[in-house]
Amino acid sequence: MSDMRGIDTPVRQRRRRVFREVANLAWHSQNLKDDMEALPYKIVDYEEPKYWESVYRDRAIIRERIRLAMGMSLRPENREHPGHLTEGLEESNIDEKYYEPPLMQVIPSACNACPENKYEVTSSCMGCVAHPCQEVCPKDAITFVNGKSVIDQEKCIKCGKCKAVCPYDAICHKERPCKAACGVNAIGSDSYGRAAIDNDICVSCGMCMVSCPFGAIADKSQIFQLIRAMQSGREIVAQVAPAFVGQFGPKVTPDVFKTALKELGFAEVYETAIGADMGCMAEAEHYVNEVATGNQEFALTSCCPSWSVMAKHFFPETIDKISNELTPMVATARVIKKERPNASVVFIGPCASKKLEASRRTVRSDVDFVITFEELTGMFEAKGILINEIKAMDEMRDATAAGRGYGVAGGVADAIEKCVREYYPGTEVKVEHAEGLADCRKVLALAKAGRMKGCLIEGMACPGGCIAGAGTNIAIPQAAKEVAKFKQTASRTVPEEGVGQSTVL
């Protein structure tokens, strides 16, 4: 799967422009309905088409992006009159609004209807005498026309043998990028051949969204409602996921980032790694008492909501093995609400599926808003905050290296293992980690078959972990280096004893 994170593509630029303009509406608009109606013309302010065959299609796509960015749903295409851009605006022009599924949505007018799975001979074919492609094809689907190979798509069974043996790499495999990126096979086609998401299977990881080179898949945002909450005068407190380091440019240190968030309007900033510290201590205790003793066959981490939902969907027999500990987001939110009972809590992270986790009825009272690093960038830009030029006036000194490590694949299992070795010396620890939902499914299949006995299994829906989440800004290897540096600045390697005693649901 190709990864475009870290490349400033036109798709990314337009996503961010929409976030910036929607944040700008919330902060500055005096006539919201009219300004929202004018926005597609402000963004697509050219007459010669740049990306599509016409500016009208361009504006139609932007209109749907604006609706999603304001927390609204797409307008139905199958109605004769799909409604105005501002239809449903009153329900969104509020200071408290939870995400309503489906979170991930295909914008039909933006979908290219890519082939789902197809092998094609390219112009690189040399018409060689050996023609190994023809020899290995089990269905006689390859013939020679004017000296070049041609594949009969009716006969082709998509086995890929021809591609594997071609000495000129002249056969390409075309597949829909969003479908290839989906580890739970939730993407099919509608009657027009466009991508369609099966919401009963989708776990909202967002890998389809970051893989679509047409920007045809988008998720809903709460930035508009968050700004309304900031304008209400209520106390708004941010908690930031450890993957934030490096996401806003090389000059933006953790201390600078904390100061920038306060300048944006947050009353205080906490590290979500505090909740991770609490969780890894509690999970270490559970591993020692239950898994290492053989009372429980294996244990699954719970901090990645897409992994947990996927396990429940596809491997329901593992539900009792999923940790009962609060996720770091919820545990940190409860710490904040205990210290600041009147505050509204905003989780700022890399993750799309955290938006749905916060919408669960058991979590709603703890986490009020979830926004991604990408959405936050739009908010900074709309407010005119040049984050690179801010001088640090605060310190980010809350969490240990163990908690901060949760941002990278393998970090959760590593943190729990370190806690076990520190506080339960002599206990043998077996850890496994899987990243990407396809690999997560393989590991769970092995666990179901009894081949993961005594293991603590960490699952991360995004290949690379949270640093590869759908709402991140930078390339994954660069993000991994930044988190490693951030871990080194922590004053402690693991949490103190007794930290995680009260985090169970």
Please provide the DSSP assignment of 282-317 as one string.
HHHHHIIIIITTTSSSEEE--S-HHHHHHHHHH-GG
Token pair 């916060």 is found at: 358
Burial tier of 320 (Cβ tally within 10 Å: 0-12, 13-18, 19+): exposed
pLDDT tens column, 134-191? 999 999 999 999 999 999 999 999 999 999 999 999 999 999 999 999 999 999 999 9
Q: How far is 437 from 455, CA to CA, in rounded Å?
A: 19
Q: How far is 54 from 37, CA to CA, in rounded Å?
A: 19
Token pair 């491997």 is found at: 315
pTM for the complete prediction?
0.93
pLDDT tens column, 10-69? 999 999 999 999 999 999 999 999 999 999 999 999 999 999 999 999 999 999 999 999
Per-residue pLDDT band at 502 (split at 50, 70, 90): very low
pLDDT tens column, 454-466? 999 999 999 999 9
Q: What's the pLDDT at 2?
A: 60
% of the chain surpassing 90 pLDDT: 86
Task: Indicate the SS3 state at residue 362.
Answer: coil
Is the pLDDT assigned to residue 499 strictly greater than 90? no
Token pair belonging to 304: 């990645």
Per-residue pLDDT band at 504 (split at 50, 70, 90): very low
Which has more pLDDT, 410 or 95?
410
Q: What's the pLDDT at 501?
A: 40
Burial tier of 76 (Cβ tally within 10 Å: 0-12, 13-18, 19+): exposed
Phi, psi dihedrals of residue 322, rounded to the nearest 5°: -70, 135
Using alpha carbons, select from 368, 14, 370, 321 the residue that is nearest to residue 220.
Answer: 370
Token pair belonging to 361: 């009825």
